[in-house]
Chains A and B, each alone.
Chain A
Amino acid sequence: MIISEQWLRDWVRVDLSAQEIADCLTNAGLEVDAVEPLAGSIENLVVGKVLEVSKHPDADRLNLTKVDIGSDVLSIVCGASNVRENLIVAVATIGAKLPNGLKIKKAKVRGVESNGMLCSASELGLEEESAGLIELDSDAEIGQRVDEYLQLDDHLIDIDLTPNRGDCLSVQGIARELKVLADGSYHPLDIPAVESACNESIGVDLQDSNNCPRYLGRVVQGISQDATTPLWMQERLRRSGVRPISPVVDITNYVMIELGQPMHAFDLAKLNDKIVIRQSKKGEKITLLDESEATLDGETLVIADAKGPIAIAGVMGGLDSAIDDATSSIVLEAAHFTRRATSGKARRYGLYTESSHRFERGVDPLLPPLAMERATELVLEICGGEAGPVIEQKNDAGLQGKPAVEIRLERLVSLLGMDLEEDEVADILGRIAGSVGGSASAWSVTPPSYRFDIEREADLVEEVARVKGYDNIPTAMPRIAPRSIAASESVISTRQVRQSFVARDYREAITYSFIDREMQALFDSEAPVELANPLADNMAVMRTSLMPGLMNALQFNVNRQHDRIRLFEIGASYHRSGGAYQEVQRLAGVACGSRVPAQWGVGKAQNIDFYDLKADLEAVLSLTGQTKAIIFQDVEHKALHPGQKAMLARENDNGELVEIGWLGRLHPTLEKHYGVTNVFAFELRLEVAIDAELPVFATVSRFPSVKRDISVVVDNAIPVAKLTDGVRRKLGRVLNKVELFDVYRGDGVDENSKSVSLSLVLQHEDKTMTDEEAEQLMGAARSVLESEFGAKLRS
């Protein structure tokens, strides 16, 4: 909310500058975003009256004027189109310096002498842009300083109010707050009741008095169609960020900003029979003031007449009953709509109004009668006419204030961790609530009708702390019962996982949890969890895999001339299972480009392939110390190259295969889709991947080992892992290690075969391995390879 400093000072006298007021409010929780000075004081700027207007001899668009400024009559050349005789204007005389930096000097305009300038509102710093001269009201005295008349020495204080402080959405509200905070002298408006001058009235049928505990309607008949909003009111509206429209609308807005009560005015002639306050009927339609049509649901509070809704209560009026240039009789509305009745209604219809903003946060239920009198007074003053009687329907039960709240000094002291004097607390409570009963063991505080946020002791604790100042609360350090737990060794930490990827030249990415539905479908056939209100189509579903996001990141970088990319991410994927939702933590990565960064002395850099990523994964997974080998199985995956993919699994203690994840090259159609080549990717279930085993000590043999190599030729289709497994099974513990040191296809080897070279390390725990034993064991290895895999010894 933006509030004018000068307007505020009418209500509360404090010995503080505008900036000090702002600081005071900020420190009390009413955060001031900005304090903007207006023009300030301007010398040589006075009220003048245009006596004569004549055309400039040499310029069609310029006029020559004679302007009376009281002490003198000045000849001034003026280019504004609205200049006319008898107009009251702001005259910048020689020596004036305007807010935009312009200095007024004696000048010749197209050969004619000009002794000053007639000013527009923008030249006075009041508006961004103006169409012509600012037209001062007739109450401005000729020769009076314009900065005084227009209160140009003003500041606009922009306050960002929290939703619990709806009571501060008015000049009155901020003034009340300042009274409490700065102990200022408070000067509320004296609002006399306006006696009715005619009997014209409108019937009010308050059908839903729970949601609208109070409704006031009053007819003012015979208003002038020629009335204009006085400049002082236009100015105050403008400084509050509200655009002046027409006198009656301006008055209702003015009262809202001044007192905090949103109001509305109907054209009496456009109403059919009495006013009814009721719930909407499903499907009812109303065309609103902004010319949009709303189709109502069955649970919106409306103001209606015999024909149908004429306003959505507390949100916006209807176009059909709106006042216009020809309106002669109006119905002023001042009502109390509850927070519950108005909450979310504006948003539901895609609306947001100053009125809905206030009602949703709570408007003082005692305000409507006062606001009605204030608005009537202003209408009669500005538009003329005769006021009828106020018709009020209410539900007293719904208007009852909040019950008294207790606060204990002891509790206050312990909760704030601060010593407080009984007298001081009582004084603060008194400033907030007016009347305070009881004593320090339990004060009883009746919240003011406008303070919807004071419901319990904690609320009053905050009030006292706030007024006392958070800065004055001491700083302490609590005794902290240890809750931090050293990480279990049964898993490796995600930090270890991250660091090992970092050590292997991967960079961590963080991608959005919601992705494009089609991208999602490219990687996974699972039906994803959908957002009801996504920000955009490409953020419509929750990812079931981290891969689409990582591929976007990869593509983003490829498009920015990066050719060697290695990214990983740790994060959740999201799934629906039955009526519940499941989140699975995953570890995924993508890589493309050369195996090593471009560098000297390594010849032509080779592209990464399946085995590079396999090595990366094996290195990271080996941190877990799992003794059971990872099994790479050939399993279908829609996003992967059919010939270069693997599912990673490991046996659990029950001998069942547990899937860890997958690894492979992106499917050629996906590579084409992304415009990339040779992209390799993996995705693991984090929980399974980081499952660790404690190291188990095994005796270190002190006897020498024997190393023997064997090369065999086998069918191409036989996975090497089967050969090593077979040998391991056959030889048992005496086989210390088996290493693959070559796989060869080509000259000297049959087309459908490959040559596989293994190195076997043989060792006893308790004695020296003899050559004869070694020969025997190699023979056993050879025979298992021959009999189980049809291997032929390679010469």
Chain B
Amino acid sequence: MTESLDGNLQSILEQAKAAIDASQKPAQLEELRVHYLGKKGELTKQLKQIGSLPHEERPKFGDKVNQVKQQVAELLNLKKAALDAAELAAAIAAEKIDITLPGRGIGSGGIHPVTRTMQRIEDIFVAMGFGVATGPEIEDDFHNFEALNIPPEHPARAMHDTFYIKDAEGSVHIKDADGSVNELVSEGKENYLLRTHTSPVQARYMLKEKPPINIIAPGRVYRCDSDVTHTPMFHQVEGLMVDEGISFADLKGVLTHFLQQFFETDLKIRLRPSYFPFTEPSAEVDISCVFCTDSEGHAQGCRICKHTGWIEVLGSGMVHPEVFKHVGIDSEKYTGFAFGLGVERLTMLRYGVDDLRLFFDNDLTFLEQFK
């Protein structure tokens, strides 16, 4: 009797093994689990036959059934794990994407290269301790010219190509004798114009604040001139430093520091005497050519520096005593320097832009090159 029951158990186990091996889906496994291990399953049925055995054999047979049950359960679990893994692998394979397709959404725009340069200039000077000042673009004659030692008959006015403003009655008041607008001067009326440089901010600031002064003044300026190398509107950054004992050597130091930081290279600077009515001594500042100077500091000569190895970048000088007089600062006690740099020019040099007029066309193809 025991033998036949044992034989049954053995054949159930083998059947179960074969069925589990052959199953392909978790659902089939679940059916098999019920078939063999469920309340009415094959092995439970076997256990129910235990009553037909003699008492002494019952525990042994019970153990045997439980062992088979455990074996079947283990086989089911193993097979379940294998099927799950295969299913996951298939799902993953099905979800594989082409990672080279472009990303979606909006991109990012960019700031204008002139703004980029202005911000950079500001950052360098602010890090040195300079403040940032501003002034009006529609200026009066006094701040744009007279306070800067450019009286009406001064030939320097001819270099400035000034835009004048019509007053409310539609007439214009020009004090400078060589103004290109041919209208009569009417005394006592203020003469308004578009500032030709950011230097009037110097005058305005010094009229308001006392030394020590160290500021820069960025902004739009205007000259009545338009050709390949001139646009009627452009940007300047004015710099001014006034304190006791400020010297020409200090001017050299501050500008060297700025230009080396700006171009991120140990370039050399060269100062040449020049003339601006509001500074004396005055200097044009050249940098060693950033395009053709090798690592040893030798200029190879190129088109941009006209084979001189030097590029003119800004104008500067010691504040003229007459300017100090106009703004009520004692020029015996205080000295100072001022400089003015062209933002478009520095932008062109920094990024290699070869046509000034591109800056104000706002062509996206151009703007997209600057982030």
* Interface, chain A (partner B; CB < 8 A): 26-29, 31, 162-165, 339-340, 343-348, 360-361, 414-418, 456-459, 461-462, 465-466, 470-471, 473-485, 495, 498-499, 501-514, 529-535, 539, 542, 553, 556-557, 560, 562, 565-567, 571-572, 574, 576, 579, 581, 583, 596-597, 599-602
Contact = CB atoms under 8 A, between A and B. Distances in A.
A458 B192 CA distance: 30
B164 A462 contact: no
B26 to A, nearest CB: 34
21 contacts: A29-B272, A163-B275, A348-B178, A414-B335, A457-B321, A470-B283, A475-B252, A476-B250, A477-B250, A478-B246, A481-B214, A504-B106, A508-B110, A509-B112, A514-B163, A530-B165, A531-B163, A557-B362, A579-B168, A581-B136, A581-B192
B105 A508 contact: no
Given A348-B178, A480-B128, A458 B164 contact: no
Interface string B127-168: 111111000111000000000000001111111000111111
Given A462-B282, A510-B114, A539-B232, A502 B179 contact: no
A459 B275 CA distance: 11
Contacts of A596: 104-106
* Highest count of chain B CB atoms <10 Å: which of A473, A510, A579, A583: A510
B138 A458 contact: no
A478 B110 contact: no
A505 B183 contact: no
Nearest to A570: B115
Interface stretch (B3-11, B68-76, B196-204, B363-371): B363-371
A271 B132 CA distance: 63
Contact of B181 (A474, A481, A533, A535): A533
B368 A505 contact: no
Nearest to A503: B108
B256 interface: yes
Given A508-B110, A532-B163, 15 more contacts: A29-B275, A163-B155, A343-B153, A344-B157, A418-B249, A475-B249, A475-B252, A478-B243, A481-B212, A495-B119, A504-B109, A514-B233, A535-B224, A557-B363, A567-B362
A215 B173 CA distance: 34
B126 interface: yes
B33 interface: no
A772 B159 CA distance: 82
B304 to A, nearest CB: 16
Given A344-B177, A458-B280, A556 B362 contact: yes
B314 interface: no
Contacts of A571: 220
A124 B16 CA distance: 115
Contact of B215 (A361, A483, A579): A483
B253 interface: yes
Contacts of A339: 153, 155
A345 B155 CA distance: 11
B271 A600 contact: no
A483 B105 CA distance: 43
Shortest Cβ-Cβ A-B pairs, 8 listed: A344-B178, A417-B249, A29-B273, A417-B247, A344-B177, A162-B275, A462-B281, A483-B131
Interface residues of B, number: 101
B107 A505 contact: yes
B176 A344 contact: yes
Contacts of B107: 505, 597
B51 interface: no
A512 B224 contact: no
Contact of B272 (A26, A505, A542, A567): A26
A31 B284 contact: yes
Given A416-B247, A417-B247, A510-B114, A530 B166 contact: yes
A504 B105 CA distance: 10
Contact of A509 (B132, B247, B335, B367): B367
Contacts of A511: 360, 362
A462 B177 contact: no
B101 to A, nearest CB: 6
B248 A465 contact: yes
B247 A414 contact: yes
Contacts of B177: 343-345, 348
Contacts, number: 279
Given A417-B248, A471-B271, A533 B224 contact: yes
B320 to A, nearest CB: 6
Nearest to B107: A505
A576 B371 CA distance: 36
Nearest to A457: B321
B245 interface: yes
A415 to B, nearest CB: 6
Contacts of B271: 470-471, 473
A509 B114 CA distance: 10
Nearest to B235: A510
B257 interface: yes
A347 B180 contact: yes
A39 to B, nearest CB: 22
A400 B241 CA distance: 38
A533 B163 contact: yes
* Highest count of chain B CB atoms <10 Å: which of A343, A533, A602: A533
Given A483-B129, A498-B111, A502-B111, A361 B165 contact: no
Given A477-B257, A553-B362, A347 B168 contact: no
A37 to B, nearest CB: 15
Contact of B156 (A163, A504, A534): A163
Contacts of B182: 348
Nearest to B163: A531
B170 interface: yes
B165 A531 contact: yes
Contacts of B125: 484
Given A461-B280, A531-B165, A531-B166, A560 B159 contact: no
A664 to B, nearest CB: 21
B254 interface: yes
Contacts of B212: 481, 483
B318 interface: yes
Contacts of B339: none
A339 B158 CA distance: 14
B318 A532 contact: no
Interface in B219-278: 220, 222, 224-226, 232-233, 241, 243, 245-250, 252-254, 256-257, 270-275
B213 interface: yes
B343 to A, nearest CB: 10
B104 A532 contact: no
B291 interface: no
B194 interface: yes
B361 interface: yes
Contacts of B183: 532
A480 B214 contact: yes
Nearest to A298: B184
Given A415-B247, A531-B166, A581-B136, A507 B364 contact: yes
Contacts of B194: 513, 531
* Highest count of chain B CB atoms <10 Å: which of A484, A509, A529, A571: A484
B172 interface: yes
B54 interface: no
Contacts of B220: 513, 571-572
B169 to A, nearest CB: 11
Contacts of A583: 136-138
A483 B252 contact: no
Nearest to B226: A535
Nearest to A352: B158
B248 A418 contact: yes
A459 B318 CA distance: 11
B354 to A, nearest CB: 18
A513 B222 contact: yes
A597 B322 CA distance: 58
